[in-house]
Amino acid sequence: MFGELFGRGGAGPSDQDWLQAMLDTEAALARAVERAGLAPAGAGAAVTAAARAENFDVAHIGRAAVLIGNPVSALVRALSAAVPPAAREAVHRGATSQDIIDTAVMLLARRGADVIDADLVAAADQAARLAREHTSTVMAGRTLLQQAVPVTFGLVAAGWLTAIDEARHELRVVRTTRLAVQFGGAAGTLASLGDAGPALAALLAEELGLSDPVLPWHTDRLRIVQLAAALAGVCAALGMVARNATLLAQTEVAEVAEGGDAPGQGGSSAMPHKRNPVVSVLILGCTRRAPGLLATLAAAAEQEHQRAAGAWHAEWETLSELLRLTGSAASWSASLLSGLRVDPARMRANLDATGGLPLAEHVSTVLAPALGRLAAHELVAAASDRAASQGVSLPEALLGHEPTAATLRAAGIGAAELAAAADPAGYLGAAAEFVRRALAAHGGTNGETQASVG
């Protein structure tokens, strides 16, 4: 019922995906065992041919998992029965259950990270488009949910872009440097393989395209925590974008609106007039759950001796859920940003509605050389209070108060100077330069991403 909402994008592994990842690990191990001369020729190919998820009953394996607390033993029995007798000695050779599940996690993480990255590329490209198109689109900056000084929507979009690109970078670092094979046997010594253990581990890593770690990491869960943190970072970036979109789409603000032409999109079951920002809401429905999942995985990283009693088990579904939700948020974000409609006229109207008050800082700066910084600040603060209470603009409040007007005249400041000081377009600082920097950085990040993933 909820899969289309929170399982969009395909990054989250299904039971079938988990089964195939474990089978892929067993098949790679069998090939490595053969390459190491520990199984007859053809054993690896035979196991690989049999190791297809559709050949196994995932429900039966799941039911049998209760006997030892994980599904690997049942899987090994089923896989061994599916291969010729001569190949059976290559199945699960030297491994323990955790080796198979942890390595499967690494394969699922790599697949999920690539799916997420593709959607983040699309989302970032759309944020870059918005930043380019609206470099000069003036709007109110908002701090503590109140209007502050002017910004541009291009700068806002550039902020989204940079956050997405940096989250992508962190996930890419984990994907390329921290996904490693797990192969340590019963207690991390590979004792059952004698002197052949380390070489076999290296062959297994080569077969799977994963890193060969310094030593088995059964109870060193830093890799899992780093993966989870990178996924939570993606959710943090996307949640920020979605939250901004919901705030800017409020009826009273109406500076952006979600696109989408599907009949009924954004509708309400009770109110026919509604057009809700449903895509943003769904992104937030995903991203709000990431911190709790990260906390669970961080708590589970404290593990005992050579094998954890329960903490390891707590990781499996938690990490699956985090992959699923991050992938869904990334996919929805690409959709949100590609269809986002921007209303520059509404942005300017909202800014102008405050009568120049967001430019109070600029007016103070203009007056400071003649009046002194503190005096200018106090004069403008008093005028701002009058403007708000009387419903007039800041320049009107300054010139309409005779003592203040006299001070301004003595300083050679009149209506023209105040109008220029209260013009939002004249107080944008380095906004355009920051947009340029974000776009330039995005271009470099895109090239790196395509090179590493492609």
Of the candidates 116, 126, 178, the one whose C-alpha atom is nearest the C-alpha of residue 157 is: 126
Report strand pairing: 138-143 vs 256-257. unpaired
| CA–CA gap between residue 132 and residue 100 (Å, rounded) | 48
How far is the CA of 43 from the CAs of 33, 92, 170, 197, 208, in angstroms?
9, 12, 39, 19, 17
Give the pair of three-digit tokens for residue 298.
């961080």
What is the separation of C-alpha 104 from the centre of its chain, rounded to a whole number of angstroms?
Answer: 22
Determine the 3-state secondary structure of 349 from DSSP. Answer: helix
Sequential DSSP letters for 30-71: HHHHHHTTSS-TTHHHHHHHH--GGGS-HHHHHHHGGGTTSS
Residues 54/14, Cβ–Cβ less than 8 Å: no
Task: Name residues whose C-beta falls within 8 Å of residue 204's C-beta, 6 or more positions apart in sequence.
Answer: 28, 29, 32, 103, 181, 183
Please, what's the b/e burial string for 384-403 (b: 16 or more CB within 10 A of its CB; e: otherwise)? bebbeeeebbbbbbbbebee
Nearest one of 321, 341, 324 to 332, comparing CA atoms = 324
Residues 6 or more apart whose Cβ sits within 8 Å of residue 129: none
* Distance between CA atoms of residues 286 and 329, nearest Å: 6
**Tokens read off for 218:** 């059964």
Nearest residue to 51 (alpha-carbon basis) of 110, 109, 96, 91: 91
Token pair of 418, please?
A: 């105040």
What is the token pair recorded at 264?
């009924």
* Residues labelled catalytic: 268, 307
DSSP-based three-state secondary structure for 141: strand
Q: What is the 3-state secondary structure (H, E, C) of 380-441?
A: HHHHHHHHHHHCCCHHHHHHCCHHHHHHHHHCCCCHHHHHHHCCHHHCCCCHHHHHHHHHHH
Q: What is the rounded end-to-end Cα distance, in angstroms, of the chain? A: 34
Instruction: Give the integer Cα–Cα distance in Å for 125 and 217.
Output: 38
